[in-house]
Structures are given as structure tokens and as C-alpha cells.
Chain A
Amino acid sequence: MHARLSFRWLIAAFAIVALAASAVTASAAEPIRLGAFLAVTGKGAFLGDPEKKTLETYVEKISGEGGVLGRKVELIVYDTGSEAKEALTFVKRLIEQDKVDAIIGGTSTGETMAVIREVEAAAVPFISLAGAAEIVEPVKKWVFKTPHTDRLAVEKLFTDMKARGLTKIGILSGPGGFDKSCRTNAMALAPAKGLTIVADETHGAGDTDMTPQLTRIKGAPGLQAFLYCGFGAPTSIVAKNVRQIGLGVPHYQTHGSASMSFIQGAEGAAEGVRLPAAALLVVDQLPADHPQKAVATAYRDAYTERYKEPISTFGGHAYDGLFIVLEAIKRAGGTDKAKVRDEIEKTNRFIGADGIFTMSPTDHLGLDTASFVMVEVKDGTWLLLN
């Protein structure tokens, strides 16, 4: 008797929960709903955490100021824990359960690539915050991205090398998608720029010492410059190892190293390393007439005021993604997904943290090499080069 009674209670409880849940979704049809899936924890947290904080800061701010088109903006964030395998379920949840109007996220290339099929099938505007060029090349109808690609970085670097008369390059790359893509682009671009790759070494995931590879690169005939393709913890290790073996040639890295943790992790060995970065990184050194000066300063102030920590350029990706979507919604006059997608594609001279975006049906990124500035590590911080 008792067992049956509690079973009935269980069913009743389930029914109440289900009713409550459906009531919540019914009444929440009004605001603009943005979904995000980010690597807030795990190995990609140095990227995902500032992204989440940026989105939260601005969504709160915008809603406080009356929202967009008179509608409040609602943000739903799921943490993938830096696992690409978690991304797909969260994206399905955003689309099916939370019924979002657009999706921002995919902190890493893996997380982004894992969900593209689902996003395309569901026809939801999607702005990725990951680096690799393969996300938007070939162009996918619903997929856009805001961070500079590795190709842009390599182009910018090669131009700098060429200007300094460095033509024989040694490359070291890691195992990640960004690393591999950077290496591939370097190989492809070098002949056109009149450069020769004289050494091409790779290291594995989780390696803590790259001295053997660097020693081989040092032995390459006529080596004039060194480029490391990678991001995260290995960037500091490479800088230290380069110092230890005394490589003795100019050292270049990509925008994947554009955070203070690179300089701090390298414990002094990052001095003299050159890399391309978003103007945001050196906001105080920008000339007053720089087109991004105002936007970058405002972002830096809003972020540091709320979180009392230095900005990274990664949060800037999220800033750009958020505002490109919101501007498109404004122009579309609503959240009709097809119209919003079309308007995102028509983004024209949007001044963001990463650069000035002009998208087109053949370009779902909309940045060129002008959106990068070259910086050099000097006295433990970034120095803007002209």
C-alpha cells in the first residue's frame, strides 16, 4: 500500500515539474535569446572565461539600457569544460530546449567543428569564437566567426620578416587544429612571399620540453628567423627553451600567445618575441586617431571595472560576436533567423575589438591583415611596433 502511494506521489511530482517547466518557456517568449557554449573551465579556460565574462557584462548592460528593439536580451551560457564532445549536446539544448535566436561560441576549433553540422541543419545564425580558417573556409551558410585566422597572422608575420630581410624560416608547431592550420598556411604562403622554410618540426600534446626540436631547427642551414605555431601553455615553454639553447635568431609567435599569461609563464624569456595581435592588446599605446581606439578603450574600462582583472584579446572575440549579432537583429527589425543571417553577412565596417569587420557572401570573417598590429614583448609587457 505504502509503495503504491509513494509511486503516485512521484508521478504527481513529475507532472508538476513538467507543467512548471512548460509555463516558464511559454512566458519567456518576449526577450531576444542568445545562446553560448564556451570553455569556461578546463584547458581552454584562459579563453572561455574572459569570453563568458564579456558576454555577461554587455548583455546585462544592454538589457539595463532598455535592450534591443525594445526587447530585453537574455543570455544562456553552457560550459563545455573544454571538451569538444560536450559541445554538440549543449548546442542541441540551446536550439531545441532554449529556443535561442542565435548562438555565439565554440571557444576552440574542435568545439566549433563538432557542432557545424547541427547548426547548419537547424538553420540558426552561429558566430564562432575559434581561430582556425577551416571554420569559414569553405563558407558555410549559417557559420561566421570573429577571431583573426591563423592565415592572417602568418601573412602579417611574413610581411614583417620580409621587411627585416629575414627569408630563411624555421617552424615549430603543436598538435592542435590551430597549430596545424597555421603551419599549413605558412607552408603555402612562404613561396609567394619569397620566403623559404628551412626547418619544419612538430611537438606533441602535453609536451613539456621542446629542446630536441629546437636543436634541430638551430642546425638548419642559413636559419634567419623562428616561428612557433601554437597557443596556450606550450607558448611559454617554447620561449624558455629558445632562450636555453640560445637559438640566436628573431623569435616570432602568433596571436595565440597574446595574453599576459604567456609573458608571465615564460619568466623573462619572452623578451623580444614578436607577434601579431588585435589593437585591443595595446589599447593605451594606440594613437588617438586609430579607428579602434574608442571601442577598445570602452571595452577595456567596462571589463576591468567589473572584474578587476586585465583584459585579454580573447574576450574581445566575444564582444565582437555579440555586437555583430545584435546589430544584425536591429537591422533585420526582429529575430527572424534567415533575415538575421542575411544581415550578419551584410556587416559593413563594424568597428570591433578585433578589427573592422566587413563581411560578404564569400567572407564570413570580414577581417584583413590591417586588423592586426605587430607587437614585441619588452620589459614584461607589450610594445606596439610601427
Chain B
Amino acid sequence: MASLWQPRTGGLLALAGVVAGLPLILPNAFYYDVAILVGINATVCVGLNLLIGYAGQISLGHAGFFALGAYASAVLTGDHGWPPLAALAAGAAGVGMLSFVLAQPILKLKGHYLAMGTLGLGIIISIVLNQEAGLTGGPDGMPVPSLRALGHTVAGEHAWYALVGLVLIVSVWLTLNLIDSPVGRALQAVHGSESAAALTGVDVIRYKVLVFVVSAVLASLAGSLFAHYAGFITPAEASFARSIELVTMVVLGGMASTFGAVVGAAVLTILPQALTAFQDFKMLVFGAVLMGTMIFLRKGLVPTLAGLIRNRMRSGRA
């Protein structure tokens, strides 16, 4: 029974339950569309949370990795006729290599400088995607063929929902395992104090690089899926605002909480759709909700609420 409260078993089971149960209450394809976007954002955030929440590093360039994955799929399948899965893998491998090479100098930076480094990277990717119009279609974007694999085409919201749901569950499962391994404990030591971690024999740089690459590759994979799902992508995917949005999702949901990242992604993806009734005041309300959350639920949604429930149960028993 107690194991159900462990995130690795209970949490994952709950997530799988939600993913499997949602189709019972989603009334039409629009809701599926929002759910799919939540799933894709959540996959990126789960990876980003590893970096922010566990390794204590801020990346303001993750939209860049997401967009690189998306454009790799778009260009390789569209212009060069690659099979989508090969393009997806090539994109992920390319982003993995890029992030590995960049991680060495960038992750030696600390605090604000690291954020600046990843910010610069994201902006460079955004500029390249905007300017290389011959390759990427420029600011107006480019179309992406459907996702075909093993003789089947993934088409329609239901199929995409199933695929994205599966990818999300697998990424969460992998992440939870990683956190619960010696690597994860080393990362938490790095987050706590780099000097102390190094003193106890943790190879700080190596772990930071590892987690940076893992989160970049997850972003790239999610980007590829998004490109095939949307069928059309623009360089706005790589924008600075989008990077900020991703970081906000992680912070809002609760740093160092994998499910927090999922919840944060869900809230920030659904909110703009839910607020369309406010029309011109949409962004105002959006900002107010974010500020309210950060002021009153300072650790983020999931850790704060989990703490509240735990306290209640404890006092209820007493």
C-alpha cells in the first residue's frame, strides 16, 4: 500500500490512469488536440525539469532544441524523402551531439551566465531558422508530411492521443528511474552544493552534461512528434518566449517534481484556451493567474498541494 505513494509506482500508475481515462470525458477532437499539445509540452518539461529541478541548471534555450527536432523531421521527410522515424532519430542524434558539444563550455558557466549561454544558443537557432528561408521556409514556416511508420500512417486525433500519451508515460518512467538511480542522487548532490558534491567524488561536469543532453534529446523528440502532428511548423517554435514558457511550466508545476512538470505543462497549455472568453484581457488574466500561483504556492503547484494534503492527513489522524 505504501508503495502506491512512491512516485515511481503510484504516481506513474496515476498518470497512466489519467491518460487512459481521459478519452471517456473528452467530448470532441478539439479537446483531444489540447490534450495532445499538453502531452507534447509535458514531455519537454519532464526533461527540462531534470535539468532545472535536479541539476539546478536553468536552460533558456530548450525551445531551440524542440524546434531543431521539428525542423529535422520537416526537412528530412519533406524535402529529402526520409522515413519519418529515421528523420526523428537523426534529429534527436543531431541535437544530442550539438548539446553535448555545447554543454562542455556552457555548463562550466554558473548561475546567470549559464542562463545567458543557453539563451544565446536558443536565439542563434531562432535566427538561423528565420533567415535560412531556402531550407526552412523562413518566418512563414513549412509543411510537414504525416507520420508514417511500419506501413501505417498516424492520422486523426485519437491515434495521436494514444501515441503522445504513450511517449509521455515512457518518458516519465525513464525520468523517475533516472532520478532514483545513483545518477539521480549525484544530481541532487550537485543541486545542493557543487563543491560538496565534488568533494564526495561526484564528477560534477559529467553529470551536468549528461542531464543537459538527455533533456535536449527529449525536447527534440517532442519537437519531431509535434511537427508531424501539426503538419506545419514555423520558427516561432524556437522563439525566446517559447523557451520562457517551457521554464514557466516547470516552475509553476513545481521544480524537482516530475509530475509537477506534467501538471505545469497541462495548466499552461489549457489556460490560454480556457481564457479566450476574456478576449482582449486574456493576457492580463493569464499573468494574474501566474503571479497568484507563484505568490501563494511558492514551491509550485504539485509540491505545495502535496504538502497540504500530507499535513491534513497527519492532523486528521492525530
Residue of B nearest to A85 (CB): B236
Chain B proximity of A47: nearest CB distance (Å): 14
Whether B312 pairs with A92 at a CB distance below 8 angstroms is no
Whether B133 pairs with A175 at a CB distance below 8 angstroms is yes
Whether A88 pairs with B138 at a CB distance below 8 angstroms is no
- Contacting chain A: which of B2-10, B26-34, B104-112, B205-213? B26-34
Tally chain B residues at the interface, Cβ within 8 Å. 34
Whether B28 pairs with A96 at a CB distance below 8 angstroms is yes
Q: Mark B305-317, 1 if CB is under 8 A from A, else 0.
A: 0000100110010
User: Which residues on the A side are within 8 Å of B33 (C-beta)?
Assistant: 88-89, 92-93, 96
Whether B34 pairs with A113 at a CB distance below 8 angstroms is no
User: Which residues on the B side are within 8 Å of A18 (C-beta)?
Assistant: 25
Whether A97 pairs with B28 at a CB distance below 8 angstroms is yes
Whether A96 pairs with B30 at a CB distance below 8 angstroms is yes
Q: How far is the CA of A115 from the CA of B234 in the complex (A)?
A: 12
Q: If A113-B232, A117-B232, A175-B133 touch, does A84 touch B30 (CB 8 Å cutoff)? A: no
Whether A1 pairs with B316 at a CB distance below 8 angstroms is yes
Q: How far is the CA of A373 from the CA of B143 in the complex (A)?
A: 34
User: Which residues on the B side are within 8 Å of A22 (C-beta)?
Assistant: 27
Q: If A78-B276, A89-B37, A114-B230 touch, does A175 touch B138 (CB 8 Å cutoff)? A: yes
Chain B proximity of A144: nearest CB distance (Å): 19
Chain A proximity of B48: nearest CB distance (Å): 19
User: Which residues on the B side are within 8 Å of A191 (C-beta)?
Assistant: none
Whether B282 pairs with A79 at a CB distance below 8 angstroms is yes
Q: Which of B228-257 contact A (CB under 8 A)?
A: 230-234, 236-237
Q: Which of A163-221 contact B (CB under 8 A)?
A: 175-177, 180, 204-205
- Residue A109 CB within 8 A of the other chain: yes
Q: If A84-B234, A89-B33, A175-B130 touch, does A110 touch B139 (CB 8 Å cutoff)? A: yes
- Residue B141 CB within 8 A of the other chain: yes
Q: If A85-B236, A113-B143 touch, does A92 touch B316 (CB 8 Å cutoff)? A: no
**Which one of B31, B141, B279, B280 contacts A114 once the chains associate, using CB atoms below 8 Å?**
B141
Chain B proximity of A207: nearest CB distance (Å): 10
**Which one of B232, B237, B276, B313 contacts A3 once the chains associate, using CB atoms below 8 Å?**
B313
Q: How large is the interface on A (under 10, 10 to 19, 20 to 34, 35 or more residues)?
A: 20 to 34
Q: If A79-B279, A117-B231 touch, does A176 touch B139 (CB 8 Å cutoff)? A: yes
**Which one of A78, A96, A114 contacts B232 once the chains associate, using CB atoms below 8 Å?**
A114
Whether A113 pairs with B140 at a CB distance below 8 angstroms is yes
- Residue B273 CB within 8 A of the other chain: yes
Q: How far is the CA of A92 from the CA of B276 in the complex (A)?
A: 14
**Which one of B34, B130, B143 contacts A205 once the chains associate, using CB atoms below 8 Å?**
B130
Residue of A nearest to B157 (CB): A92
Residue of A nearest to B34 (CB): A89
Residue of B nearest to A122 (CB): B29
- Residue B177 CB within 8 A of the other chain: no
- Residue B131 CB within 8 A of the other chain: yes
Whether B28 pairs with A84 at a CB distance below 8 angstroms is no
Q: How far is the CA of A373 from the CA of B246 in the complex (A)?
A: 48
Residue of A nearest to B134 (CB): A180
Q: Which of A129-160 contact B (CB under 8 A)?
A: none
Whether A175 pairs with B139 at a CB distance below 8 angstroms is yes
- Residue A308 CB within 8 A of the other chain: no
Residue of A nearest to B28 (CB): A96
Q: Which of A107-121 contact B (CB under 8 A)?
A: 108-110, 113-115, 117-118
Q: How far is the CA of A177 from the CA of B138 in the complex (A)?
A: 8
User: Which residues on the A side are within 8 Å of B141 (C-beta)?
Assistant: 84, 110, 113-114
Q: Which of B34-79 contact A (CB under 8 A)?
A: 34, 37
Q: How far is the CA of A115 from the CA of B232 in the complex (A)?
A: 8
Chain A proximity of B92: nearest CB distance (Å): 21
Q: How far is the CA of A171 from the CA of B43 in the complex (A)?
A: 45
User: Which residues on the B side are within 8 Å of A3 (C-beta)?
Assistant: 309, 312-313, 316
Whether A88 pairs with B230 at a CB distance below 8 angstroms is yes
Chain B proximity of A323: nearest CB distance (Å): 24
Whether A176 pairs with B29 at a CB distance below 8 angstroms is no
Whether A109 pairs with B140 at a CB distance below 8 angstroms is yes
- Residue A83 CB within 8 A of the other chain: yes
Whether A180 pairs with B133 at a CB distance below 8 angstroms is yes
- Residue A8 CB within 8 A of the other chain: no
**Which one of B137, B230, B231, B312 contacts A2 once the chains associate, using CB atoms below 8 Å?**
B312
Residue of B nearest to A134 (CB): B140
Q: Mark A307-337, 1 if CB is under 8 A from B, else 0.
A: 0000000000000000000000000000000
User: Which residues on the B side are within 8 Å of A2 (C-beta)?
Assistant: 312, 316
User: Which residues on the A side are within 8 Å of B140 (C-beta)?
Assistant: 84, 108-110, 113, 176-177, 180
Q: Which of B277-297 contact A (CB under 8 A)?
A: 279-280, 282
Q: If A110-B139, A175-B133 touch, does A85 touch B230 (CB 8 Å cutoff)? A: yes
Q: How far is the CA of A97 from the CA of B131 in the complex (A)?
A: 37
User: Which residues on the A side are within 8 Å of B143 (C-beta)?
Assistant: 113, 117
Residue of A nearest to B138 (CB): A175
**Which one of B28, B31, B233 contacts A85 once the chains associate, using CB atoms below 8 Å?**
B233
Chain A proximity of B217: nearest CB distance (Å): 22
Q: Which of A61-118 contact B (CB under 8 A)?
A: 78-79, 83-85, 88-89, 92-93, 95-97, 108-110, 113-115, 117-118
Most buried by B among A78, A85, A93: A85
Whether B29 pairs with A205 at a CB distance below 8 angstroms is no
Chain B proximity of A226: nearest CB distance (Å): 22
Q: Mark B125-153, 1 if CB is under 8 A from A, else 0.
A: 00000110100011111010000000000
Residue of A nearest to B226 (CB): A85
List 3 tightest A-B contacts by C-beta distance, closest first.
Answer: A177-B140, A96-B30, A110-B140
A-B contact pairs, 27 of them (CB 8 A): A3-B309, A3-B312, A3-B313, A3-B316, A18-B25, A78-B276, A79-B279, A84-B140, A84-B234, A85-B233, A85-B234, A85-B236, A88-B230, A89-B37, A96-B28, A96-B33, A110-B234, A113-B143, A114-B141, A114-B230, A176-B138, A177-B138, A177-B139, A180-B138, A204-B131, A205-B130, A205-B131
Interface residues of A, Cβ cutoff 8 Å to B: 1-3, 18, 22, 40, 78-79, 83-85, 88-89, 92-93, 95-97, 108-110, 113-115, 117-118, 175-177, 180, 204-205
